[in-house]
Structure formats: structure tokens, C-alpha cells
């Protein structure tokens, strides 16, 4: 019981801190632009850490090290490369700056808003918004389910209370302070995650007898654990270790971070911070799986998810273990708040304000928009809590493939939006529908050989140019506006050069 009270106390202090951040930033939110993108006012460190915390969920701290425990060191290092290079570094080169510039010029502050403006189409805007809302709510429920299980195992409280506590804390700071609260809590959460991981690694390495002794122990357990591709065939090795790094262009909660940066020049610090701390965090986290295999070669082969929590509680003083548990909770909450906000923005900004209100001819004040945004955030997190408490089977069937499907649907329209002037709304619609359909078919029929994201994104990348070239080119003024050959949209708010 002592373990539970120490862990619970540390976790409650952490939760109160997160709510405090929400209260502090609540007065800044006076418009929907502030609620959804913090008025493009955030600095490079907050954006970099928020970007990392959003992507790194509990899976990174608990689930994936468990898989590394099974597959060994070679796989672990390549999974780190997938994250350290493909997620934390390269997107800054190939997309962060153009996405930020284009979204600002088009007056967009959500991904459907940006794509709708870039392709001059409410159909693209509406379809993207609906896809995000439909696919992300099960993802929120799935994250909360993970959090409930985590708190049940590590803090000794019931699953239901774990879900409610973490969901309500996220709900409070999200509702109060929108994107400000989400990013600043992400910033603190990323620091807590790094500290938690830094506390575990040296002690576990010491227990294993250092690097050479660890490698020798792995070889003694199974020589395949230290080599490449180790225990996996090459195809699976490459796919599993690198695949998620390629999904960044189709992940709306990450793209929004690029849009919220105050100035282009801040992307320099942002990139270095992301590459450095992203690599550090993933290295420390996955190393836990490798070290655990050296320390307990056979104990967790049937329950790899338990390996990191057990490692932490066996190795560390109680209060440090409690910080690590808070770090795992932080990893879940920092992902949940971001995806919930993306879903809320899709419904409010893109469907309600830009499609439904526009068609009805009514207008609403900014204050009303903020209030509606808060109400929708409450509803989304509330539905997610309800789903996680009594999960319908379909939800977890859906949540298993939401991230891959969304990434396959959006990656192609996003990449062509910043690189190809000839891309039009017809191509974007075909790419989104085709990518989604193929990925879903691959998931549902469990077609072996490739991760479903791969055929989905290839279909989408092919459909976009084919359909675009078969249909009329986009309006010149739209392209001039998007690609910096004319003045930006007045006030940075509206950029409707042409519509379908």
C-alpha cells in the first residue's frame, strides 16, 4: 500500500500542476484562433517539446520497449532511428517551414482549414474534418484505456478512477486554455518524461554491469538479440522499425505545431531541440527494453508490457518510480489533449463555422466561437471517457487502425499542397478517399506482407497527380497566394480565392 500512496501523491501533485497551467493561460483565450492555434505566438522550445510529447505516448514508454525486449538490440536501435531521424529531424527539412508559411498566408489554423483554402474547396475541408473527427475520437478512447490500465497496475487505483482522473484533468486544462494549455502542458510533460527516463537508464545500466556486460548477457540469452535484423525477417524489420516515422505528413496534431510557431526563423532552434531531445528520449526509453532483456532474459516473454513497470519498481527508490509513473501518465495526457483539440477544431472551425454557418448566412462572435469550442472539447473528451469506461468492441477495433488510416488519407494532399502547384481539389479528394479505402481494406482483410499504411499512402500519392492532371488546373490567384507570389490574405484570416 505504501507504494500506492507515494505514487498517488506524486501523480496528484502532477495533475494539479497541469490544471494550474490551464488556469494560468485561460485569460489569454479570447478568440477561436487563440483557442486552436495560440494566435501563432508560441516559441521554438515549447513547439519542439510539444511536438515530441504529442508523438511520444505511453506506447513509447511502456509498450514499445516491451516489443524491443522481445526483438532485441538491433531492432531497438533501428526503431530509435525511425523516430530520431524520420520523426524528430527530417520533417523540419521537408515540410515544417512550407506548412507554416502556407498556413499563415492562407489564414488557416487547422489542417482541414489549410487544405480547404489551399485547394479552394469546401469538399476537401469537410471530408478532412469529418475523417479527423471520426478517426480521432476512438483514438482518444484508446489512449484513455491505456491510461486507466497504467494507473491500475502502477498506482493501485481502479481502472475506472484512472480513466476518469486523467480524462478530467485533460478536460479541465483543455477547456480553459485551448492550444496554449495543450502546448505548455506538453512542454512540462516532455520535461517530466525526459527526467523520468534519465533516472531509470543509468541505474538499469549499472545493474546490468555496463554496456559490454549487457551485450554479453544478451548474446548468452540468444545471439540474435544483438544483431541486425536479429529475430525478424528483413522486410518486417524495416517496416516495423521505420514505418511510423513516415506518417508525420498525415498526422494533423503534429502539423498544427508547425503552424503555431511565431516566426520562420524560430524553426532553426525548434529543429535542433527536436532532433536532440527526440533522439535522447527515444534512446533512453527503448534502451529500457534492451536492458530489461539482459537483466531478465526469460521472465517477461509472455507479458512484455509489464517489463518496464517491473524494471522501474525493482530498480528504483519508490519516489523515483513514482516520478516515472507520472512521466508515463504525462506521455498519455500529452497525446490525448492534442488529438482531442484537433477533433474539436475540425468540428467547430471547419464544419460548423466554415461550412454550416457559411451556408446558413448567419454570423457568430469570437466569444461565441470560443464557448462553442469549449463545449465541443468537453463533449469529445466526455465521449472518450464514456467509451473507455465501457468500451464497445467496435471502438477498439477502430482505434487499432485510426492513426495509420488518417496518415494514409492526409499525407498525399499535404505533401502535394506544399510542393506541387498543379495539384487541385479533385486530386486531393481522390487521394484522400483512395488512401483511406485501401488502408482500411488492408487492415480489415489482414493482407500480409506490408503494413497497411504503405499501400494506402502509395495509392494516395499516385491518385493525386493522375486525377489532378485529368481535371482543370487550380485558379492562378489561389496558387499565387499559396506559393508566395502575391500578397497574403487580408488579416491572415480569409483566403478564399476560389471555391468549388
Partner 1 sequence: MDGPWGMPWGTFLSLVFLWMSPVVAIIVNQTRWWRELTKD
Residues that bind partner 1 (CB under 8 A): 73-74, 77-78, 80-81, 84-85, 88-89, 92-93, 97, 211-212, 215-216, 219, 226-228, 263-265, 267-268, 271-272, 274-276, 278-279, 283
* Least distance in angstroms from the C-beta of 70 to partner 1: 17
Q: How far is the CB of 264 from partner 1 (least distance, A)?
A: 5
How far the first Cα of the chain sits from its last, in Å, is 63
Distance CA 248, CA 407 (A): 7
Give the residue carrying C-alpha cell 454557418.
Answer: 357
Alpha helices in 96-210 (DSSP H): 97-105, 111-118, 122-154, 159-208
Q: Are 328 and 58 in contact (CB under 8 A)?
A: yes
- Least distance from partner 1 to the Cβ atom of residue 283, Å: 7
User: Is 333 in a helix, a strand, or coil?
Assistant: helix
Q: Which residue shows C-alpha cell 489554423?
A: 109
Q: Kindly state the smallest distance separating residue 88's Cβ from partner 1, in Å.
A: 7
**Minimum gap (Å) between residue 267 Cβ and partner 1:** 5
Residue partners of 84: CB distance under 8 A and separation at least 6:
275, 278, 279, 282, 283
- Considering beta carbons, is residue 36 or 286 the nearer one to partner 1? 286
CB of 27 or CB of 268, closer to partner 1 = 268
Residue 84 in contact with residue 279, Cβ under 8 Å?
yes
Residue 116 CB, shortest distance to partner 1, in Å, is: 25
Residue 210 CB, nearest distance to partner 1 (Å)? 8
Strand-pairing partners, residue 42, are 261
By C-beta, is 155 or 417 nearer to partner 1? 417
Minimum Å gap between C-beta 422 and partner 1 is 22
The closest of 405, 336, 328 to 377, measured between CA atoms, is 336
And the C-alpha cell for 474?
487550380
Q: Compute the CA torsion angle 59, 61, 62, 65 (nearest 10 deg).
A: 100
- 233 or 361: CB nearest partner 1: 233
DSSP 229-273: STTS-HHHHHHHHHGGGGGGGG-HHHHHHHHTBS-GGGHHHHHHH
Distance of CA 220 to the CA centre of its chain: 38
208 vs 312, which CB is nearer to partner 1?
208
Name the minimum Å distance from CB 84 to partner 1. Answer: 4
Report the residue number, 225 or 376, with the smaller CB distance to partner 1.
225
Q: What single-letter DSSP state applies at residue 450? A: S
User: Taking the complex as a whole, how short is the minimal distance between the CB of residue 90 and partner 1, in angstroms?
Assistant: 9
Q: How far is 163 from 39, CA to CA, in rounded Å?
A: 31
Task: Please state, in angstroms and rounded to a whole number, the distance separating the CA atoms of residues 498 and 407.
Answer: 27
Work out the angle between the directed axes of helices 366-389 and 318-345 (0-180°, nearest 10). Answer: 130
Nearer to partner 1 by Cβ, of 110 and 279: the residue is 279
Instruction: State which residue, 75 or 372, has the beta carbon closest to partner 1.
Output: 75
**Segment holding 33, helix H or strand E:** helix 32-37
Amino acid at each position: 500500500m505504501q507504494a500506492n500512496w507515494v505514487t498517488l501523491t506524486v501523480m496528484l501533485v502532477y495533475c494539479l500542476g497541469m490544471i494550474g497551467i490551464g488556469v494560468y493561460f485561460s485569460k489569454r483565450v479570447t478568440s477561436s484562433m487563440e483557442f486552436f492555434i495560440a494566435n501563432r505566438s508560441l516559441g521554438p522550445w515549447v513547439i519542439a517539446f510539444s511536438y515530441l510529447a504529442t508523438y511520444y505516448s505511453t506506447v513509447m514508454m511502456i509498450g514499445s520497449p516491451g516489443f524491443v525486449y522481445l526483438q532485441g538490440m538491433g531492432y531497438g536501435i533501428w526503431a530509435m532511428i525511425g523516430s530520431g531521424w524520420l520523426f524528430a529531424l527530417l520533417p523540419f527539412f521537408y515540410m515544417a517551414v512550407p506548412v507554416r508559411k502556407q498556413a499563415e498566408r492562407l489564414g488557416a489554423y487547422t489542417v482541414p482549414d489549410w487544405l480547404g483554402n489551399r485547394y479552394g474547396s469546401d469538399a476537401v475541408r469537410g471530408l478532412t474534418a469529418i475523417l479527423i473527427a471520426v478517426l480521432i475520437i476512438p483514438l482518444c478512447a484508446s489512449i484513455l484505456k491505456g491510461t486507466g490500465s497504467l494507473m491500475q497496475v502502477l498506482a493501485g487505483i481502479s481502472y475506472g478512477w484512472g480513466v476518469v482522473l486523467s480524462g478530467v484533468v485533460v478536460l479541465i486544462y483543455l477547456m480553459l486554455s485551448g492550444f496554449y494549455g495543450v502546448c505548455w502542458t506538453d512542454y512540462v510533460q516532455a520535461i517530466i518524461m525526459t527526467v523520468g527516463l534519465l533516472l531509470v537508464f543509468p541505474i538499469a545500466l549499472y545493474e546490468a554491469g555496463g554496456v559490454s556486460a549487457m551485450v554479453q548477457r544478451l548474446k548468452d540469452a540468444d545471439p540474435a538479440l544483438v544483431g541486425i535484423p536479429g529475430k525478424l525477417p528483413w522486410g518486417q524489420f524495416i517496416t516495423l522499425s521505420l514505418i511510423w516515422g513516415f506518417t508525420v505528413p498525415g498526422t494533423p496534431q503534429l502539423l498544427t505545431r508547425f503552424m503555431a510557431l511565431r516566426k520562420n526563423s524560430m524553426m532553426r532552434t525548434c529543429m535542433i531541440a527536436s532532433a536532440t531531445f527526440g533522439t535522447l528520449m527515444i534512446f533512453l526509453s527503448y534502451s529500457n527494453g534492451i536492458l530489461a532483456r539482459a537483466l531478465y532474459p526469460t521472465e517477461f516473454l509472455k507479458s512484455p508490457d509489464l517489463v518496464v513497470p517491473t524494471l522501474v519498481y525493482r530498480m528504483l527508490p519508490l519516489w523515483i518510480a513514482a516520478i516515472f509513473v507520472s512521466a508515463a501518465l504525462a506521455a498519455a495526457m500529452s497525446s490525448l489533449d492534442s488529438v482531442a483539440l484537433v477533433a474539436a477544431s475540425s468540428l467547430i472551425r471547419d464544419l460548423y463555422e466554415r461550412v454550416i454557418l457559411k451556408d446558413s448566412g448567419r454570423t457568430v462572435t469570437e466569444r461565441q466561437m470560443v464557448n462553442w469550442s469549449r463545449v465541443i472539447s468537453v463533449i469529445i473528451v466526455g465521449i472518450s471517457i464514456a467509451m473507455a469506461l465501457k468500451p464497445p468492441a467496435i471502438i477498439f477495433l477502430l482505434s487499432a487502425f485510426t492513426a495509420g488510416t488518417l496518415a494514409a488519407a492526409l499525407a498525399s494532399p499535404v505533401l502535394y499542397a506544399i510542393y506541387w502547384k498543379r495539384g487541385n481539389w479533385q486530386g486531393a479528394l481522390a487521394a484522400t478517399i483512395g488512401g483511406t479505402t485501401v488502408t482500411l481494406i488492408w487492415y480489415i482483410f489482414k493482407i500480409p506482407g506490408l503494413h497497411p499504411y504503405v499501400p494506402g499512402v502509395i495509392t494516395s500519392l499516385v491518385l493525386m497527380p493522375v486525377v489532378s492532371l485529368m481535371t482543370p488546373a487550380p485558379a492562378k490567384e489561389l496558387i499565387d497566394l499559396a506559393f508566395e507570389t502575391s500578397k497574403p490574405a487580408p488579416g491572415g484570416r480569409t483566403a478564399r480565392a476560389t471555391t468549388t
